[in-house]
Each structure stands twice: as structure tokens, then as C-alpha cells.
């Protein structure tokens, strides 16, 4: 056996990956198309590294690993990343024929390697060596997968950055997720793909690389992929909680606050913010509301001060704090995270939620929730 700190870290990561997959697949909370692709990604990455780590620690030879265990996971990993992100951004996305074609390279490579294993099983190929033909397909799979990853993840990054930059109208029926974490993860993965390409080139076309050089890729890549998985599942849980809260808004809540002002612009303003619930849009601004009402921002600010005796931001903060109070006082949401409640109430971050809520109520969200639910018992 050849154990060292590097392969111990890798083995621990592989075990963690398989446990992660089992837990997520067995939990009803995380059942969705996006998490299905995410767990597929974690499983395939863990399995692909396992194939290389077993010979390194001396359990089997590299030849045996290729003959009996090797499968072309490298060609499906970028596809799984691609569809995880697509379904994360748009859960109602419709799978097309073009989408299915993205799996074709993996299917073709898989057919080749299964056929090779069948040849060994039936004695057509020698069991002691890896033939030059099989070695060609191993190298071809590796080189193709590098370029395939560069193209697919590159396309994906363009989609994500365009999606993040777009300013779509707020829609109560749709949860728009935050993407900072996703952009960061994709950038790291993209850099690792180029490192993988360099190591693959050196490994195939020169003799200057050692097997443990791949540890410099495997370890940070494993950390990134597993972190990607954990954050992805956490974000899915947040969105699912927000959807349930949003459904509560649409079906159970009746806001009886009525506009009683004679100024028509103020009536339109309150109708837009209260009845249409525009205050739930974390990107709401005086300018965007003025644009919606076809007024100038300065005029809208003046009439809010004049008729409502408050500022635009204080008015919106008050509505959001009351919205959060409704959620915090509802036993149905007692186990929901403060992040989900704050985001669904219209705040753009956990810190903004806590600061503004305490300013409006004199209590932190945790204090308010604890006191209200305690008094309700």
C-alpha cells in the first residue's frame, strides 16, 4: 500500500462525495431536475477520481484499472454541469432534441469501452496488456473531454453572466436566484479545465509528468466540485422555501390596507407597491417605480413626502418588515431559514434584513420569532 497525505485527502473527498449523493437522492426535500444533475456530477467526478487513485495506493495496477473499471466520465461531467445550471436558472426548462445530442459523445465513448471489456471477457483481447487501440481511445476521450468542457462551460458562463446582467420585470410567480456564488464556482472550474488540458498534454505527448502531479489538480478541483454541490443543494433549499412562502402570499394572505388618498399618483403608487406587491422585488428603486408610473423620480419623491410623510426607502422598508413579520409569526415557516424569509420579504441580503427589521420593530428576526411563537402557544 502507498498511502500519503495527498491520496488520503482524495479518498476522504471521494467517500464524502458518495455519501452526499446518497443523502440527497434519499431526501424528498431536494428532489428536482437541477439536483438530479448535481448529484450525477458529484457521483461521476468521485467515480472518475477513484479509478485513478486505486492504482496510486497500490490496490490494483493501472492496467487493471483501465481494463475493469475505466469509464469515460470525463466526457459527461461538463454536460452534467451544463444542465444543472440550466435547470437551476429555469426549473421549467424543456429538454429538447439538441440537448439530448450533448450526451452523444459520452454514449459513443461508453460503447467503445464496453466493447473493449467484452473482448477481454470473451478472450478476443489479451488480459495482460492495454492494446494500442484502447490506449488511443483513452487519450482521445481525454483530449476531446478537455475541449468539450472548454466549449460547454464557456457557453454556460456566457448564459449565466447575461442572465445576471438582465433586468427583467419583477414577477411574483418566479424566483430569481442570486448568482454570485455560481459565477465564482464556474470561473474556478473553468480555470481548472485549462490546467487539466495542460496536464493532459504533458502526460500524453511528453514523458516529464509524474502521476502525483495530477494531485495538484484533483485536490482543488475536488474541493470546488464538492463545495459546488453543497452550495447548490443549500440554494435549492432556499428557493424551495421561498416558493412555499410565495405560494402563501398568492393563496392565503389578504392585505386589507387600502389607499385613501385623493392624489391619483399616490393611489397608483400604493396600488403598485401594495396590491401588486412590487416591494418584494429586491431590486426595486425610486427610479424603477417612477418609470413604471411614468413620473419623474424627483416628483414621486416629493409627493411621497407630502402625502405619506415618509421617504420612499422608509416606506418600502416598512412594507418589507411587515411582510417578514407575517412569515416569522406563521408556525408553518418556523423551521425555515432566515435567509429564505428575508429574501422572500424583499430584502437583498441577510444583513440588510436583520438591520432594517430591527430598526422597524426594535427586535431582531430571531427575537421576534421566538417571542411571537412563544406567546402563541
The DSSP-derived string for 1-41 is ----HHHHHHHHHHHHHHHHHHHHHH-GGG-SHHHHHHHHH
Give pLDDT, residue 254.
46
> pLDDT tens per residue, the chain (377 residues)?
677 787 788 888 899 999 999 998 888 878 888 999 999 999 999 999 998 888 888 888 878 888 888 899 999 999 999 999 999 988 888 888 889 999 999 999 999 999 888 887 777 666 566 678 888 899 999 999 999 999 999 999 999 998 877 766 666 667 777 888 999 999 999 999 999 999 888 888 886 666 567 777 888 888 888 888 889 888 888 888 888 887 776 665 444 444 444 478 888 999 999 888 899 998 899 999 999 999 999 989 999 998 888 999 999 999 999 999 999 988 888 889 999 999 999 998 999 999 999 999 999 999 998 887 665 54
Give pLDDT, residue 74.
93
* DSSP secondary structure code for residue 274 in this structure: I
Who contacts 18 (Cβ-Cβ below 8 Å, separation ≥6)?
43, 46
Q: DSSP 3-state assignment of 42?
A: helix
* DSSP secondary structure code for residue 72 in this structure: -
Taking the C-alpha atoms of residue 214 and residue 220, their distance in angstroms, rounded to an integer, is: 10
Taking the C-alpha atoms of residue 194 and residue 150, their distance in angstroms, rounded to an integer, is: 8
Who contacts 40 (Cβ-Cβ below 8 Å, separation ≥6)?
80
Give pLDDT, residue 99.
92
Give pLDDT, residue 183.
93
Contact in structure between 17 and 44 (CB atoms under 8 Å): no
Q: DSSP 3-state assignment of 173?
A: coil
Amino acid at each position: 500500500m502507498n498511502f500519503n497525505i495527498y491520496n488520503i485527502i482524495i479518498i476522504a473527498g471521494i467517500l464524502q462525495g458518495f455519501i452526499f449523493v446518497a443523502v440527497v437522492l434519499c431526501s424528498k426535500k431536494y428532489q428536482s431536475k437541477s439536483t438530479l444533475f448535481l448529484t450525477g456530477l458529484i457521483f461521476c467526478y468521485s467515480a472518475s477520481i477513484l479509478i485513478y487513485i486505486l492504482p496510486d495506493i497500490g490496490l490494483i495496477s493501472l492496467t487493471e484499472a483501465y481494463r475493469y473499471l475505466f469509464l469515460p466520465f470525463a466526457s459527461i461531467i461538463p454536460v452534467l454541469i451544463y444542465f444543472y445550471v440550466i435547470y437551476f436558472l429555469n426549473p421549467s426548462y424543456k429538454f429538447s432534441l439538441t440537448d439530448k445530442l450533448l450526451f452523444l459523445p459520452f454514449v459513443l465513448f461508453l460503447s467503445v469501452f464496453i466493447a473493449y471489456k467484452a473482448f477481454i471477457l470473451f478472450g478476443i483481447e489479451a488480459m495482460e496488456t492495454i492494446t494500442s487501440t484502447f490506449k488511443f481511445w483513452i487519450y482521445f476521450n481525454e483530449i476531446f473531454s478537455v475541449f468539450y468542457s472548454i466549449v460547454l462551460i464557456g457557453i454556460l458562463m456566457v448564459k449565466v453572466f447575461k442572465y445576471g446582467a438582465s433586468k427583467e420585470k419583477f414577477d411574483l410567480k418566479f424566483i430569481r436566484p442570486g448568482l454570485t456564488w455560481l459565477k465564482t464556482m464556474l470561473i474556478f472550474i473553468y480555470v481548472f479545465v485549462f490546467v487539466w488540458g495542460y496536464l493532459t498534454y504533458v502526460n500524453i505527448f511528453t514523458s516529464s509528468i509524474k502521476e502525483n502531479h495530477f494531485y495538484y489538480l484533483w485536490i482543488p478541483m475536488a474541493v470546488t466540485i464538492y463545495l459546488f454541490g453543497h452550495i447548490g443543494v443549500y440554494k435549492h433549499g432556499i428557493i424551495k422555501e421561498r416558493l412555499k412562502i410565495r405560494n402563501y402570499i398568492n393563496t392565503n394572505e389578504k392585505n386589507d390596507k387600502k389607499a385613501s388618498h385623493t392624489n391619483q399618483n399616490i393611489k397608483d403608487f400604493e396600488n403598485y407597491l401594495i396590491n401588486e406587491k412590487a416591494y418584494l422585488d429586491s431590486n426595486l428603486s425610486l427610479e424603477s417605480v417612477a418609470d413604471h408610473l411614468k413620473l419623474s423620480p424627483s416628483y414621486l419623491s416629493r409627493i411621497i413626502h407630502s402625502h405619506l410623510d415618509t421617504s420612499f426607502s422608509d416606506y418600502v422598508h416598512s412594507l418589507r418588515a411587515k411582510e417578514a413579520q407575517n412569515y416569522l409569526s406563521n408556525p408553518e415557516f418556523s423551521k425555515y431559514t432566515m435567509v429564505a424569509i428575508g429574501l422572500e420579504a424583499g430584502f437583498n441580503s441577510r444583513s440588510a434584513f436583520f438591520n432594517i427589521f430591527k430598526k422597524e420593530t426594535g427586535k431582531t428576526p430571531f427575537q421576534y420569532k421566538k417571542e411571537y411563537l412563544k406567546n402563541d402557544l
